[in-house]
Amino acid sequence: MPQQIPALASRLKGLGFAGDPNAFADLTGFPMGAIISLGGCSASFVSPDGLIVTNHHCVQGALQYNSTPDRNLIENGFLAKSRGAELWNGPGARVFVTTSVKDVTDEIIGKIPAKLTDRQRFDWIERRTKERTAACEKDGLRCRIAPFFEGKSYFEIAQLEINDVRLVYAPGKGIGNFGGETDNWQWPRHTGDFGFFRAYVRKDGKPASFSRDNVPYRPKHWLTVSTKGANPGDLIFVAGYPGRTQRHETYPQVRERTQWTLPRAIRRAKEQLALLEEITKGDKALEIKAEQRKRGLNNGLTKNVGVLDGLVRGGLLAKKEAQERDLVVWIAADKARQAEYGDVLPALQTMQAESEKSRERNAVLAALNGPSSLLATADTLHRLSLERPKKDMDREPAFQERNWSRIRESLERMEKTYDPRLDRALFRHALVEAATLPADQRIAPLDAAVDLTAGRPAADAAKAIDAWLDAVYPKATLGDKAVRLALFTKPAAEIVASPDPFVKLAIALHPLHEAVREKEKSDAGKRSLLRPRYMRALLAKEGGLVAPDANSTLRVTYGTVKGVSPRDGMAYLPQTTLQGILEKQTGTGEFDAPKAELDAIQALRNGKRSPYVDPKLKDVPVDYLSDVDTTGGNSGSATLNSKNQLVGLLFDGTFDTVASDFLFDREKTRSIHVDSRYLLWVMTEVDGATNVLEEMKLD
C-alpha cells in the first residue's frame, strides 16, 4: 500500500533511491496524484490538460465503440489532430482519481454483537458499508469500502469519478498488438502497448456526462515523460491498481483451482474461441463486435494455462501445501496459539468441502448470464424492478441508486457488442454444458424450459436445445436498444408481463439464483470471522512481513530492470529493440508492422538520427523486463524512475511465472514494460502525433 512505502526507506536507499519515500504515501501529492484507474486498467495523467496514457489493450473498448467495417480503428489506430476531433469512448467509460484513503476498520467491524448468526453478521457489515459509502459520496466522489488482509482491516477509498472520457491517440494493431496471441505472456516482446485518452469535465471543474461544452480536466499533478527510458540495473517503481491475487487462499482452495476450476476455465475458453472464430470469419462487422470478447478469452486462456502449469509442474501447489503444514505445526506448538487459531483451518476446510458439493450446478448457473447478453439483460432488468420500491439502504448494493446510471449505460453500450448470431452460439454452448449436469445438481427451471433431463443422450439434448433456440430467438426483443431502455424504469409487474422469452427464463431462474445468493451471504458472514483470524495467524508467524492480496486499490511495487534465466540453459536479456521487429516481421497476421514503421526503422539504419536511440544498444529500445510484483489490473500502470518520471508502461507478465498470483517467486517472476523511448519514437517517426507530444513535458 502507498502508506507502507515510508517504512521501506532504508531498503530503497540501499537500492539507490535518493527521493522522498513519504511522497508515495501522499495520495493527493506528486507523483501519486497523477496515478488513476480506468476501472479495470491503470493509467496516469501526462499533461495539465487531462491527457492520459495507458496500454493499447486498455483502449480497445474505445476503438471498438468507434469502429465500423469501413473505418476499423482496431486495425488502423486513431489520431485526433485537434481537441474537437477526439472521440467519445461511449457510455460507461470512467476515470477514477483517488483523493483519500482512510482506515475505517472500527466503523465496519467494531463492536459487532458476538451472538449474531452468520447471515446476521453479513447484514451488519453490509449495512455499515452502505452507510459509510453514502456518507463519503459527495461532490462527484465515488467511494468504496475495501477489505484488506481477508477482512482484518477495512479502508475507505474516495475517488473523483470522471465520466466524459475521449480517445486521443492509439497506434494501429501492427504496433499496439504486434505479436498478438503468439507473443502474449512471452519474452522477447516487441509490442507498442500504449494509447492515450483525455478526461473532460464541466467548465466549473465538476464531473459531467459527455457534452461538447465540457472542457479538459485540469489535474493537480501529471508526470513528466522521460526521453531516456529505463536501462538494466535501474531502480523503478510501478504505481497502479492491481486487480486480484490469491496468495492467502488455503491449500484446499488452491488445490480445487488446480484440479477443477482452471481445467474447466481452459476447456471452456478454447471451445468458445473456436465458436467465435467460426462465426466471425469473413464478416468484418461481426469481427468488430466480437474483438474484445476474443481478446479477453485468449488472454485469460493463456494465463490460466501458465498458472496451472506453474502450480502443478512448477511445484507451487506442493509449496503451498508445505506452507500450510508449517502453519499448522506452528499453531500446535503453543497452547495460546492453539486457543486463538486452532479451529480456523479445520473450519475453513469444512466450508470448502461443502461448497464443492454444488460447484458444478452453481458454476453453470452463473455462466448462463455470461454468454448471453439477452439473458443477462433480462435478469438485470427483473432484479432492478424488484429492488426499486425498497429504501436505498435496503437494496442490494449492485442495485442501489448510485449504480442506476451504470446499469443504463450498459444497456446502451450493448448495442456495440450484441449480435444474435454471437449470442446464440455462446448461449448454446452454456446450455449444452447445463444438459450434462448430474441428477443431483440439475437446474430445474432450465430443464423445464428447454426440455432437458439428466442422463439424456448428448445428441438428443442437442436437438432439444436447438429446437428451443430456434423458437426463442425470433421472439427476443431485448436486442432492441429502445426496448431495453423502455423496460429500465418499469415496475416488476410490467417486467413480468413482458412476452420476451429471455425475460420469462430469467424470472424462472430467479428463485434458484436467490437461494445461491442467500447461501453465499451466510458463508460470507462465517468467513468474516474466520478469515481475519487466519490472516492474524499468518502475520504473527511471519513477523508481520505479509502483504495484503491485491484488491483493485492503489498500490506501489518496486524493483530493477533485469533479465532472468527461466529454466536451465535459457537466459532472457532485459531489453528488446527495433531489430526484433524486423526479425519477427512476416507481413501477415500477428506480425504485420505498418509500412510507416518499417520505413522509419530503415531510415534509422540509413543514418537518420534520433534522440531515442540507446547508445549501448545502438537502437531504439522497445520493451524491457523487471522484477516488480504485478498482476491483472496493473495494465497501463506508470513505470517511474527515481525522479518519478514516466519511463514506461507496465503491460504484461511472463508465462513462466504467472502462477505468482498464488505464490510469489521472488527470483524468477518478471513483468514486461513498453519503454518510454519506443512510445516517443513511434509518436514522432511513425504516426506524426506531434500535437500530442507537444502538450507533454519531456525530459
Per residue, what are the HEC states of 267-306? Answer: HHHHHHHHHHHHHHCCCHHHHHHHHHHHHHHHHHHHHHHH
**Average pLDDT of the segment spanning 375-393:** 98
User: Which residues does 512 contact at the CB level (< 8 Å), separation at least 6?
Assistant: 365, 443, 444, 445
Average pLDDT over the chain, rounded to whole? Answer: 96
Q: Is 139 a catalytic residue?
A: no
pLDDT of residue 370: 86
**Average pLDDT of the segment spanning 588-598:** 97
Q: Are 360 and 411 in contact (CB under 8 A)?
A: no
**Average pLDDT of the segment spanning 194-210:** 96
Confidence of residue 547 (pLDDT cuts 50, 70, 90): confident
Distance CA 142, CA 106 (A): 21
Distance CA 437, CA 447 (A): 11
- Percent of the chain with pLDDT strictly greater than 90: 94
Q: Is 188's pLDDT higher than 80?
A: yes
Please state the pTM of the whole predicted model: 0.94
pLDDT of residue 140: 83
pLDDT in tens, 218-262: 999 999 999 999 999 999 999 999 999 999 999 999 999 999 999
**Average pLDDT of the segment spanning 439-460:** 95
The one catalytic residue among 56, 57, 382, 429: 57
- Percent of the chain with pLDDT strictly greater than 70: 100
Q: Is 125's pLDDT higher than 90?
A: yes
**Average pLDDT of the segment spanning 263-289:** 96
Spell out where 585-656 has E strands. Answer: 621-626, 638-640, 646-653
List alpha helices for 559-614, DSSP H: 578-584, 595-605
Distances (CA, A) of 81 to 74, 201, 475, 692: 18, 20, 45, 8
User: Which residues does 577 contact at the CB level (< 8 Å), separation at least 6?
Assistant: 614, 617, 619, 620, 621, 622
Spell out where 230-273 has E strands. Answer: 235-240
pLDDT in tens, 77-107: 999 999 999 999 999 999 999 988 999 999 9
- Please state whether the peptide bond connecting residue 263 to the residue before it is cis, i.e. omega within 30 degrees of 0: no
pLDDT of residue 635: 97
List alpha helices for 645-689, DSSP H: 676-681
List alpha helices for 313-372, DSSP H: 316-332, 335-341, 344-356, 359-368
pLDDT in tens, 472-502: 999 999 999 999 999 999 999 999 999 999 9
Distance CA 295, CA 430 (A): 20
pLDDT of residue 543: 86
How many residues does this entry show for the chain?
699
The one catalytic residue among 42, 47, 183, 193: 193
Q: Is 139's pLDDT higher than 90?
A: no
pLDDT of residue 666: 87
Q: Is 635 a catalytic residue?
A: yes
The one catalytic residue among 37, 635, 637, 676: 635
**Average pLDDT of the segment spanning 168-181:** 97
Confidence of residue 71 (pLDDT cuts 50, 70, 90): very high
**Average pLDDT of the segment spanning 522-544:** 95
